[in-house]
Amino acid sequence: MKFLNVLALRGPNLWAWSPVIEAWVDLGEWKDRPSTSIPGFNERLMSWLPSMIEHRCSIGERGGFFERLRTGTYMAHILEHVALELQSLAGVPLGFGRARETSKEGVYKVVFKYKDEGLARACLDSARELVLAAAEDRPFALEQTLERLRNLAARNLPSPGVEAILCAAKHRNVPCIQLDLHGTLQLGQGSKARRFRAGQSDRTGAIAQSIAEDIELTRRLVANVGLPAPESCLVSTKEEAWEAAEDIEPPVNVRPQWTTSAPRGVSLNLTSREQVEAAFDTAKTESSAVIVEQYIPGSVIDLLVVNGTVIAATRESASGRIDVLPEVHPGVAEAAVSAARTVGLDLAAVQIAATAISEPLPQSGAAILDVISPPPLETFFSPPEDDEPQPVALAILDWLFPNGETGRIPIVAITGTNGKTTVTRFIAHLLGDTFGRAGMATTDGIYWQGRRIVTGDCSGPTSARNVLMNPGVDVAVLETARGGMLRAGLAFDECSAAVVTNVAGGDHLGLSDIQTSEQLARVKRMIVESLAEEGAAVLNADDPLVAGMAEKSTGGVLYFSRQPANPVVESHRESGGRAVFVRDGTIVFADGRHERALLPAASVPLTLGGKIAFQVENTLAAIAAAWSLGVSLETLEARAKTFSAGLDSDPARFNVLEHRGATVIVDFGHNVDSLRAVIPALDAFQGKRRAALFSSSGDRRDQDIVEMGALLGDAFDRVILYEDADRYERKPGEIIALLRQGLARGKRVAKIEEIEGGLNAFQHAWNTVEPGELLLAQAHSADQTVEFLRRRAAAP
């Protein structure tokens, strides 16, 4: 039994809307051995982990999993339950798990929910060792393993304070990212995000914090605004301590400089020199500096001030901390708020000594001992009740996000087999005037305000999360590729618009055990299932697999189609739905039976005069998405007329160039469906003789590579083949051999050339193109290809 791959799906995923571990497990020799076939296995497992009797399993009742063991179940299923139980014994009781067979015999996907990735991976590894030990009748050091896992949990899991903020954020629908193991949180997204850590926010002033750390200055400022505060003096010797006590007049308190009500090092109500000097020695063990202060009789009360309101108050008792908020007189609360405001803090703990906090300030005998930042939030928590948010944490969220705000920015997610990069760029262009600063993630990089700030393939959740963490982003437009969704889940729990360009025959089939177009559609449908209630799924009505996603939309639905009489669109409009389509060459907006013509498709530069069908489809998708977000039709018309298929605006996506009397079309297309769309589009150009530069990455199925070769062979007179570094596990020459198989079936191709390396092949195609020829040149690396073309354009 071995792990082939272990993935942490950190965002919403195919299994659950919470983080899960997905382990690909090869059972090896154990694949045909159920639990009942291994002597003593069940008994050993149940004796080691008797608490698994609580696992209900598919039987649905206590002891259900043990019943499955007794009737015989497979090792992957057992591994799932043991991993969950080890997590539970480490202090993280989570119940969700799955074990599913893949298309490869003996290989299973074992899935279970987690809270901390490091702990989950450790539990999975330990679960494998435990299961194998039980199967092979070997001893297993269970107690040592649990101690190690519990220590790991203690190091990695969020503190109760962080957990409380996370719970409140979930309750308030505020998205949250934990930035480190120290409890630093990003609450919200982009320009609406706030940062919070250990009782401090991103707006906690440095000067206010510095004042709060200086108790003498704090008390002086508090006294300046007329609030009672004890006299105090910072001392460094016993002699200075007694002199200060005499000046203040006993009784006095003696304590370490940075301690107020902490139990260690504090001596109260001292009257003699011997007491003061002994207390000084004690305090000196806790801090290099010691404070002598006026003794204030009564209890020490901690009040939590949040945004000008006292929302909690506690004091120590024999039974621990008790809530005294109902006893706090408004005058005492007002004094606490004034003290926090004087220091300059919206969030602080104010420590008061008082004989009767239920009395007005003069009668209460109260004095402000300290203003503490960051406040010890856990001091103010009430006993937890299931998943109910702490009132203190909710108050903090309400302060950070007032008036019901959630800190969310508009998110547009785009997926599909083809066209998604162009549609992503087009949408960002359309939204610019309405939504402000756009952050965009595509297969070519991350862009901010149209400027690329990160290069490379950024269509996965890590890059999307980086966009959402950028405080300069007002709207996020995110190309969302299947690979990232399968490897790590989504970067967001909710989006404003979910655009699916197409699925058709699919791409990358065979990878990640996605074997069919239907299965691929299920993956891409995830963004539709993540829609906000007020959001819209923007779906291609001409693609049945995409149109069928409408029933799973968690928001509204807006169809786009190149066919004005598409039956899906007609039915949708009959029930009051919205759609965007082309009729007689004009892009039409429909809201139920009401229609408005926007502009001729030919007036959108991307469509090259309306001649390129798939670019018309991309235009409809982008415009429909922007319309669903509330962009005005006037803005859409104006912005659509300024987006073209140029090397600057949409590089390597059907860029049309003239060179040496030939037409060269530079395109990134690299799958069967893209060729099927591009080849008919070539009829819009002159050039009887056609040439193509083409290859495939090695992760395509054999039959797909052969099919692409066949399409090339029927459409081009000259074909230039190449291979590059993306052969994956294929041998050199294997991809070209498969393409040649397909080309051999073609009826048109007369000449086949082979060049090593994508850029070398592009340069060869560029240098050998003949006048009057039409060359379709695949841009294997968009950046390298565009740089080559720009150098050539700049050359004399």
For residue 796, the model assigns a pLDDT of 59
For residue 265, the model assigns a pLDDT of 59
Calculate the average pLDDT of the chain: 93
- Taking only the tens place, the pLDDT of each residue in 364-397 is 778 999 999 999 998 898 776 777 899 999 999 9
For residue 433, the model assigns a pLDDT of 80
> What 8-state DSSP symbol labels residue 381?
P
Per-residue pLDDT for 776 more than 90?
yes
> What pTM was computed for the model?
0.91
- Residues 103, 2: contact at Cβ < 8 Å? no
The dihedrals phi and psi of 782, each to the nearest 5 degrees, come to -60, -45
pLDDT confidence bin for 360, thresholds 50/70/90 = confident
pLDDT confidence bin for 263, thresholds 50/70/90 = very low
Angle of CA points 408, 409, 413, to nearest 5°:
110
As a whole number, mean pLDDT of residues 618-637 equals 97
Per-residue pLDDT for 21 more than 60?
yes
For residue 460, the model assigns a pLDDT of 95
β-bridge mates for residue 582, sequence order: 587
Per-residue pLDDT for 264 more than 90?
no
Q: Which residues contact 90 (CB under 8 A, 6 or more apart)?
A: 119, 123, 146, 149, 150, 152, 153
Number of Cα atoms under 13 Å in the Cβ half of residue 235: 25
- Residues 286, 264: contact at Cβ < 8 Å? yes
- Taking only the tens place, the pLDDT of each residue in 83-127 is 999 999 999 999 899 999 999 999 999 999 999 999 999 999 999
The dihedrals phi and psi of 170, each to the nearest 5 degrees, come to -65, -40
Per-residue pLDDT for 262 more than 70?
no
As a whole number, mean pLDDT of residues 713-722 equals 96
- Rg, C-alpha atoms of the chain: 34
- Residues 49, 42: contact at Cβ < 8 Å? no
For residue 749, the model assigns a pLDDT of 96
β-bridge mates for residue 543, sequence order: none
Helices (H) and strands (E) in the chain, counts: 27, 34
- Residues 33, 136: contact at Cβ < 8 Å? no
pLDDT confidence bin for 258, thresholds 50/70/90 = low
Per-residue pLDDT for 310 more than 90?
yes
Task: Output the six-digit token pair for 212.
Answer: 């709060």
In this structure, the chain runs to a length of 796
CA distance 286 to 280: 10
For residue 795, the model assigns a pLDDT of 67
- Taking only the tens place, the pLDDT of each residue in 493-537 is 999 999 999 999 888 888 899 999 999 999 999 999 999 999 999
For residue 384, the model assigns a pLDDT of 67
Is the CA virtual torsion 608, 613, 617, 620 positive or negative? positive
Of all helices (H) and strands (E), which one includes residue 55? none
> What 8-state DSSP symbol labels residue 490?
-
Is the CA virtual torsion 25, 27, 33, 38 positive or negative? negative
Task: Output the six-digit token pair for 688.
Answer: 């009887």
Per-residue pLDDT for 361 more than 90?
no
Cis before residue 374, ω within 30 degrees of 0? yes
Per-residue pLDDT for 679 more than 70?
yes
CA distances from 120 to 12, 79, 589 (A): 17, 13, 50
- Residues 658, 686: contact at Cβ < 8 Å? no
CA distance 98 to 16: 10
- Selection from 95, 110, 98 nearest residue 30 by Cα: 110
Q: Are strands 751-756 and 774-778 parallel, antiparallel or unpaired?
A: unpaired
Residue type, 291: I
CA distance 218 to 216: 5
Per-residue pLDDT for 261 more than 90?
no
- Selection from 380, 399, 398, 392 nearest residue 204 by Cα: 399
As a whole number, mean pLDDT of residues 40-69 equals 94
- Taking only the tens place, the pLDDT of each residue in 126-180 is 999 999 999 999 999 999 999 999 999 999 999 888 999 999 999 999 999 999 8
Q: What is the three-class DSSP state of 626?
A: helix
- Selection from 441, 429, 432, 431 nearest residue 470 by Cα: 441
pLDDT confidence bin for 688, thresholds 50/70/90 = confident
